[in-house]
Amino acid sequence: MDRRDFIRAGVLGAFSGLVIPPLSVFASKDDGQEERKVPLGAGKRIVMRFFPYELKLRHAFNLAKYSRTTTPDVQVEIGFDGLVGYGEASMPPYLGESVESVTGFLSRLDLGQFTDPFRIEEIHDYMDSVAPGNNAAKAAVDIALHDLTGKIMGQPWYRIWGLDPAKAPATSFTIGIDKPDIVRTKVAEAAPYKVLKVKMGLDNDKELVEIIRECRPEVPICVDANQGWGDKGKALEMCHWLSERGCLFVEQPMAKENLDDAAWLTERSPLPIIADEAVKRLPDIARLKGAYDGINIKLMKSCGMHEAYQMATLARALGMKVMLGCMTETSCAVSAAAQLAPMAEYADLDGNLLIANDRFDGMRIIDGKIVLPGDRPGIGVTLL
Ligand code: MG
């Protein structure tokens, strides 16, 4: 047991009261190829452990409704037959989950009853029977199971899904609401990114876009109003103004409940209107058809990769655009989402770049574009 495992085991034991599984089940350093050399033994059972891991943000994160410098997060590891899969729950406060709720939910799970980690749908049904909601906690288990099963097959999920990694789009990099000089600094730091995203919904919306245009006259800009525009007339005026300034689309301009106004705006807007807060899971999509041009899929809302893939498939079948987003997360959950990137027109997978204490190496951004980690199996991450 190295020092990191020892501390982790101590935190786990103290926090959850769980019995720590034999460490032989878990590799302390994950390298997909290394792990496949571990002899496959008898007595196969799924074991899970988890621990809180607070994410430290590089800059204070300012949105229309609040500001913060950390994000609560829980890391999950699922072991089976000598292999380990990694997962993660990230809990931005507005989604209503917390370290306490996630660890409380995970403590109630008995995954040892399952002898086949490929039964992901059955495990989701079981998790739903334990408690409704808890989407981020369920996502953590789902991501770890995908990582594990990908490792068992020795293949990354984009390949299992039949996707071409070269089709992954550029990712946007988010510039939060801030004072003009800080915005200029952030835009300078974002020089490697080919698409910028701005958060709106305060009084200085136009100023933010104008500062970015001063610094980078040609860069495409995505706009996220985070439900901040109260009035559909104002929203339409903003869409025209933004369209004239080279913006690509507008995410969640008005309150998520207001489908009629969203439909009114979508019909008239020169820019595509994308649902974010208005969409969480698969059954939401059909009623959003017509009210929005597309949906922003995030693993922490969709309960993980299993349903996110179904959501992307359904949205495309309905002629809607697919955007892939994330929370502030480590490279674990971001790399899991990136496996789906070839199905998306737009991607906003920068959550790992916004934190100072990542635990994983995974998907990379090269020349602004999402680059999946080659043949690395599962979700394609290794521990740093
Ligand atoms: Mg958004």
- Is 171 in contact with 368 (CB distance < 8 Å)? yes
**Could you give the percent of the chain with pLDDT greater than 90?**
76
Radius of gyration of the chain (CA): 21
3-state secondary structure string across 148-205: HHHHHHCCEHHHHCCCCHHHCCEEEEEECCCCHHHHHHHHHHCCCCCEEEEECCCCCH
Q: List the shell of residues around ion ligand 1, using CB closer than 5 Å.
A: 224, 251, 276
Structure tokens at 45: 């059972």
Residue 345 CB coordination number (10 Å):
17
Would you state the pLDDT for residue 174? 86
CA of 12 to the centre of ligand 1 (A): 33
- Is 378 in contact with 148 (CB distance < 8 Å)? yes
Would you state the pLDDT for residue 204? 77
Would you state the pLDDT for residue 65? 64
CA of 269 to the centre of ligand 1 (A): 18
Nearest to 88, CA basis, from 305, 278, 325, 370: 305
Indicate whether this model's pTM tops 0.75.
yes
CA of 347 to the centre of ligand 1 (A): 11
CA of 365 to the centre of ligand 1 (A): 20
CA of 134 to the centre of ligand 1 (A): 20
CA of 353 to the centre of ligand 1 (A): 17
- Is 68 in contact with 57 (CB distance < 8 Å)? yes
CA of 200 to the centre of ligand 1 (A): 10
Topology given in CATH for the domain delimited by 159-383 = TIM Barrel (3.20.20)
CA distances (Å), 272 to each of 3, 122, 262, 294, in order? 50, 37, 11, 8
CA of 63 to the centre of ligand 1 (A): 10
CA of 286 to the centre of ligand 1 (A): 20
Would you state the pLDDT for residue 63? 62
47: which strand partners? 79
Q: How far, in Å, CA of 128 to CA of 165, rounded?
A: 32
Query: Which range among 56-60, 331-335, 368-372 shows the weakest confidence by mean pLDDT?
Result: 56-60
pLDDT in tens, 193-206: 999 999 887 777 89
pLDDT in tens, 273-306: 999 999 999 999 999 999 999 999 999 999 999 9
The DSSP 8-state label assigned to residue 280 in this structure reads -
The values of phi and psi at residue 56, to 5°, are -95, 125
Helix, strand, or coil here: 59? strand
CA of 199 to the centre of ligand 1 (A): 8
- Is 295 in contact with 285 (CB distance < 8 Å)? yes
CA of 250 to the centre of ligand 1 (A): 9
CA of 109 to the centre of ligand 1 (A): 31
Q: How far, in Å, CA of 376 to CA of 254, rounded?
A: 40
Mean local confidence (pLDDT), 75-87:
95
Nearest to 299, CA basis, from 149, 77, 88, 147: 88
Whether residue 55 has pLDDT greater than 80: yes
Q: β-pairing, 67-71 with 172-175?
A: unpaired
pLDDT in tens, 140-191: 999 999 999 999 999 999 999 999 999 999 999 988 778 889 889 989 989 8
Name the residue with higher pLDDT: 124 or 42. 124
Q: Could you tell me the pLDDT band of residue 43, with boundaries at 50, 70 and 90? A: very low
Whether residue 6 has pLDDT greater than 70: no
Nearest to 89, CA basis, from 70, 105, 102: 102
CATH class of the 3-155 domain in this structure = alpha beta
CA of 65 to the centre of ligand 1 (A): 13
Q: Could you tell me the pLDDT band of residue 4, with boundaries at 50, 70 and 90? A: very low
Would you state the pLDDT for residue 10? 39
pLDDT in tens, 240-256: 999 999 999 999 999 99
CA 283, 288, 294, 299 torsion-angle sign = negative
CA of 320 to the centre of ligand 1 (A): 17
CA of 364 to the centre of ligand 1 (A): 22
CA of 298 to the centre of ligand 1 (A): 10
CA of 326 to the centre of ligand 1 (A): 9
Q: How far, in Å, CA of 304 to CA of 281, rounded?
A: 10
Kindly provide the residue ranges of all beta strands, DSSP E only, lying in the chain, ordered along the sequence. Answer: 47-52, 55-62, 67-71, 73-80, 83-90, 172-175, 195-199, 221-224, 247-251, 273-275, 294-297, 321-324, 346-347, 360-361, 364-366, 369-371, 382-383
Residue at 44: amino acid letter:
K
Domain-wise residue ranges, the chain: 3-155, 159-383
Helix, strand, or coil here: 265? helix
CA of 92 to the centre of ligand 1 (A): 12
Query: Which range among 22-26, 45-49, 326-330 shows the weakest confidence by mean pLDDT?
Result: 22-26
The values of phi and psi at residue 58, to 5°, are -65, -40
pLDDT in tens, 305-340: 999 999 999 999 999 999 999 999 999 999 999 999
Structure tokens at 359: 């635990």
CA of 278 to the centre of ligand 1 (A): 10
* Count of all residues that appear for the chain in the document: 384
pLDDT in tens, 207-266: 989 999 999 999 999 999 999 998 999 999 999 999 999 999 999 999 999 999 999 999
pLDDT in tens, 353-367: 989 999 999 999 999
**Could you give the percent of the chain with pLDDT greater than 70?**
88
CA of 176 to the centre of ligand 1 (A): 12
Structure tokens at 201: 């919904």
CA of 276 to the centre of ligand 1 (A): 5
CA of 252 to the centre of ligand 1 (A): 6
